[in-house]
């Protein structure tokens, strides 16, 4: 933040400096006009950066406040200083030492990873003919995928509940993985198809000329080219599965089977005013930090994946 | 002649072989459960007697139409949707215009804007509940300090204000997504005409109203429909922020409550089916718009 601010200040100051030095040379009238223009630009730039900082503050403040609150000890929890005068890790040691929380963290990790790998396997196979061939029914399949992304999840709840009872996987991770496929698969298929479409056709034709079959083309030619897109879509599926709440809440019963969002939502004290806020904030930060890191590292990829998914540019 | 058509048919069969896992998964976890839900809505099933349920016609829907809580939930859902989607659209457009310019730290800015989107909804709900806490919350504290208010506001405890809080958090959470959709739309427009307009000294307000807005219309329509569909099924945020207070339940929360908490699968499924019906109408709109816009499909 500080580095960014100083870069911005330098940028603005340079504009201001230009304004001052240029007055010594050349035609006065021209300079006056040029100065007016530069001055306008300076004001515009300043307003623009102030706007940027406001937007950044709006986006970051809740997370920042959670972080700051989690670093306070219980005596100073309700203080409103912007930075704690004494940093205490008491909340974190409690949260990280809690076996149940560790367990739900592990559940979330296993479920989200399994979901994203399964989704990728299904969608890579399905996206290949959808992106590379034209055949009757292709449009229908894509429209089906698009319609399923908009499905209200509560509308499949009772049907899924019955299915999970029949398969005898209630309160197990398999039930969550199965139900998460509704959320991840249609979206991933959509994004993957768009990514796969962007590969030039010549590559495929050359392979056909060399006598490769469909399966070989997919595994030996498309997969190596597509790996950045695979990372992107896998990441999006992982995030969606990590954050899912409704199915995780409904299809688990015991505290051992819960995922992180569920245990966070059901974490409560004796009454609403006695909620252990410090612990909740520490748990929130622990849960969110991996995702924030992913966003910082893969920002460009995530954006390209998200935007090809819903609105085609 | 015969051989030619045979060689042509093999790849076509391949296509469906590749699509089989996808179609199976969709039938198993979307198609079949959906049909069962619609079926349950016409029966007197409870959570423990899913198998031995009886067909009772539309009486669940009659009960639903008579239930004040249901209409309250419908009203809450509509309020949340029709207030927060326009707000997100306007804010998202503003953020997209900022991100569209090239400036120092643009990459960082994009990452920052993504953060509200990536934070799990439950975590966002908890973080905001803490900030909006009536006694210890920072928001009341700041408002008191700036003497905008005289007494702390019960943001979450009060029925009307908790809807405001839900909208506030929803806007915060989904504006980034909206901004990204708008940004993708902005980047696909021909940039040279904006540059030409800027060089000619046309004020930005005019460029925006006469150039950007008309060209962005298809993107905005698709984005608004997409977000509306998402807002109508809102569940997580309301579930956590309202702490089980039925006064501000939404349609999804109502359906789940009857399905799971009251174990009344019949009525719960009827509510879910009604929600499905609303969404289905909007989905048809969305899909037809998207089809018009995408030449690739």
* Cβ contact, residue pair A126, B18, below 8 Å: yes
**Predicted pLDDT at B107:** 84
**Predicted pLDDT at B155:** 81
* Cβ contact, residue pair B107, A214, below 8 Å: no
* Cβ contact, residue pair B18, A214, below 8 Å: yes
* Cβ contact, residue pair A66, B130, below 8 Å: yes
**Predicted pLDDT at A118:** 95
Compare CB distances from A158 to B259, B275, B296 and report the shortest one's residue. B259
**Predicted pLDDT at A7:** 66
Are the CB atoms for B116 and B168 separated by under 8 Å?
Answer: no
**Predicted pLDDT at A22:** 53
Q: Is A311 helix (H, G, I), strand (E, B) or coil?
A: coil
Position B33 pLDDT exceeds 80: yes
Q: In chain A, positions 15-34, which contact chain B (CB-CB < 8 Å)?
A: none
Position B6 pLDDT exceeds 50: no
Task: Note whether A63 contacts B: Cβ–Cβ < 8 A.
Answer: yes
Q: What is the rounded distance in angstroms from the CA atom of residue A55 to the CA atom of residue B105? A: 13
Residue range(s) defining the domain that contains residue B74:
69-293
* Cβ contact, residue pair B107, A299, below 8 Å: yes
Q: What is the rounded distance in angstroms from the CA atom of residue A148 to the CA atom of residue A146? A: 5
Q: How far is the alpha carbon of B215 from chain A, nearest alpha carbon, in Å? A: 12
Residue B95: which of A303, A9, A51, A308 has the closest Cα? Answer: A51
**Predicted pLDDT at B296:** 36
Task: Note whether A226 contacts B: Cβ–Cβ < 8 A.
Answer: no
**Predicted pLDDT at B290:** 67
Can you tell me the ipTM of this complex? 0.86
Q: Would B55 be classed as within a structural domain?
A: no
Task: Note whether B281 contacts A: Cβ–Cβ < 8 A.
Answer: no
* Cβ contact, residue pair B181, A307, below 8 Å: yes
* Cβ contact, residue pair A260, B297, below 8 Å: no
Task: Note whether A185 contacts B: Cβ–Cβ < 8 A.
Answer: yes
- Band of pLDDT at residue B175, cut at 50, 70 and 90: very high
Compare CB distances from A261 to B16, B25, B122 and report the shortest one's residue. B122
Q: Which domain CATH number covers B256?
A: 1.10.3720.10
Q: What is the mean pLDDT of residues B129-147?
A: 84
Compare CB distances from B276 to A123, A152, A250 and report the shortest one's residue. A152
Our CA angle for B251, B252, B258, nearest 5°, is 90
Q: In chain B, positions 72-101, which contact chain A (CB-CB < 8 Å)?
A: 95, 98, 101
**Predicted pLDDT at B2:** 42
**Predicted pLDDT at B102:** 80
**Predicted pLDDT at A312:** 43
Task: Note whether A186 contacts B: Cβ–Cβ < 8 A.
Answer: yes
CA separation (Å) from A12 to A42, A49, A306? 7, 9, 34
User: How crowded is residue A71: how many other Cβ atoms within 10 Å of its Cβ?
Assistant: 21
Q: In chain B, positions 153-212, which contact chain A (CB-CB < 8 Å)?
A: 172, 176-177, 180-181, 183-185, 187-188
- Band of pLDDT at residue B101, cut at 50, 70 and 90: confident
Range A143-174 burial, b when 16+ CB lie within 10 A, else e: bbbbbbbbbbbbbbbbbbbbbbeeeebbeebe
* Cβ contact, residue pair A311, B219, below 8 Å: yes
**Predicted pLDDT at A311:** 46
Which tokens hold the place of B170?
């929803």
Q: What is the rounded distance in angstroms from the CA atom of residue A155 to the CA atom of residue B38? A: 8
* Cβ contact, residue pair B126, A287, below 8 Å: no
From first to last of its 313 residues, what are the pLDDT tens digits of chain A?
Answer: 555 666 666 666 665 565 555 555 556 666 677 777 788 888 888 888 898 899 999 989 999 998 988 888 777 777 777 777 777 888 888 888 888 888 888 999 999 999 999 999 999 889 888 888 888 888 888 888 888 888 889 999 988 988 998 888 888 889 999 999 999 999 899 888 888 888 888 877 787 788 777 778 778 888 888 888 888 889 989 999 999 999 999 998 888 888 988 988 887 654 555 678 888 888 899 888 888 888 888 888 888 777 775 544 3
Residue B194: which of B220, B212, B180 has the closest Cα? Answer: B212
**Predicted pLDDT at A24:** 52
DSSP state of A212: -
Q: Would B42 be classed as within a structural domain?
A: no
pLDDT in tens, B68-95: 889 999 999 999 999 999 999 999 999 9
Q: Would B244 be classed as within a structural domain?
A: yes
Q: What is the rounded distance in angstroms from the CA atom of residue B95 to the CA atom of residue B113? A: 9
One of 3.40.50.2020, 3.40.50.1370, 3.40.1280.10, 1.10.3720.10 is the CATH number of A92-310, namely 1.10.3720.10
* Cβ contact, residue pair B120, A69, below 8 Å: no
How many domains are there within chain B?
1
Q: What is the rounded distance in angstroms from the CA atom of residue B66 to the CA atom of residue B56? A: 17
Q: How far is the alpha carbon of A160 from chain B, nearest alpha carbon, in Å? A: 5
**Predicted pLDDT at A310:** 52
């Amino acid at each position: 933040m500080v580095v960014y601010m100083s870069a911005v200040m330098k940028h603005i100051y340079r504009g201001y400096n230009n304004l001052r030095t240029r007055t010594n040379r050349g035609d006065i009238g021209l300079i006056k006009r040029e100065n007016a223009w530069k001055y306008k630009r300076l004001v515009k730039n300043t307003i623009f950066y102030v706007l940027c900082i406001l937007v950044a503050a709006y986006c970051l403040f809740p997370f920042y406040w959670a972080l700051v609150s989690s670093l306070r000890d219980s005596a100073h929890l309700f203080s409103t200083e912007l930075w704690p005068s004494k940093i205490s890790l008491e909340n974190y040691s409690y949260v990280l030492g809690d076996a149940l929380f560790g367990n739900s963290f592990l559940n979330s990790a296993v479920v989200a990873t399994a979901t994203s790998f399964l989704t990728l396997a299904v969608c890579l196979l399905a996206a290949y003919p959808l992106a590379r061939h034209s055949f009757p029914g292709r449009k229908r399949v894509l429209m089906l995928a698009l319609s399923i992304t908009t499905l209200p999840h509560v509308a499949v709840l009772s049907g899924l509940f019955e299915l999970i009872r029949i398969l005898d996987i209630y309160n197990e991770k398999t039930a969550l993985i199965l139900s998460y496929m509704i959320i991840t698969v249609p979206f991933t298929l959509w994004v993957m198809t768009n990514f796969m479409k962007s590969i030039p056709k010549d590559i495929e034709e050359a392979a056909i000329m060399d006598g490769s079959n469909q399966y070989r083309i997919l595994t030996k030619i498309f997969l190596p080219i597509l790996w950045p897109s695979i990372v992107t879509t896998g990441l999006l599926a992982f995030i969606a599965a990590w954050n899912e709440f409704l199915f995780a809440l409904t299809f688990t019963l015991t505290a051992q089977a819960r995922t992180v969002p569920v245990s966070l939502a059901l974490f409560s004290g004796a009454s609403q005013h006695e909620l252990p806020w410090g612990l909740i904030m520490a748990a929130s930060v622990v849960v969110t930090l991996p995702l924030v890191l992913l966003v910082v590292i893969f920002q460009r990829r995530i954006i390209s994946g998200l935007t090809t998914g819903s609105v085609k540019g | 002649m015969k051989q030619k058509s045979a060689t042509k048919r093999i790849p076509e069969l391949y296509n469906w072989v590749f699509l089989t896992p996808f179609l199976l998964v969709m039938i198993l976890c979307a198609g079949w459960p959906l049909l069962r839900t619609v079926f349950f809505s016409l029966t007197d099933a409870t959570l423990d007697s899913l198998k031995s349920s009886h067909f009772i016609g539309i009486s669940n829907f009659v009960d639903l139409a008579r239930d004040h809580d249901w209409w309250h939930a419908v009203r809450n859902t509509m309020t949340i949707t029709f207030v927060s989607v326009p707000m997100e659209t306007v804010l998202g457009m503003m953020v997209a215009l900022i991100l569209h310019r090239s400036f120092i730290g643009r990459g960082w800015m994009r990452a920052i804007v993504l953060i509200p989107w990536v934070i799990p909804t439950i975590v966002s709900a908890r973080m905001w509940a803490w900030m909006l806490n009536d006694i210890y919350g920072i928001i009341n504290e700041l408002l008191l300090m700036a003497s905008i208010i005289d007494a702390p506001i019960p943001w979450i405890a009060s029925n009307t204000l908790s809807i405001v809080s839900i909208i506030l958090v929803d806007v915060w959470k989904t504006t980034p997504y909206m901004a990204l959709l708008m940004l993708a739309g902005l980047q696909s427009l021909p940039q040279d005409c904006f540059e030409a307009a800027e060089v000619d000294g046309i004020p930005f307000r005019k460029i925006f109203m006469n150039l950007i807005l008309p060209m962005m219309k298809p993107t905005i329509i698709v984005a608004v429909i997409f977000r509306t569909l998402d807002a109508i099924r809102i569940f997580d945020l309301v579930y956590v922020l309202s702490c089980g207070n039925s006064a501000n339940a939404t349609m999804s929360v109502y359906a789940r409550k009857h399905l799971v908490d009251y174990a009344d699968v019949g009525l719960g499924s009827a509510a879910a089916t009604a929600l499905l019906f609303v969404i289905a109408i909007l989905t048809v709109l969305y899909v037809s718009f998207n089809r018009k816009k995408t030449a690739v499909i």
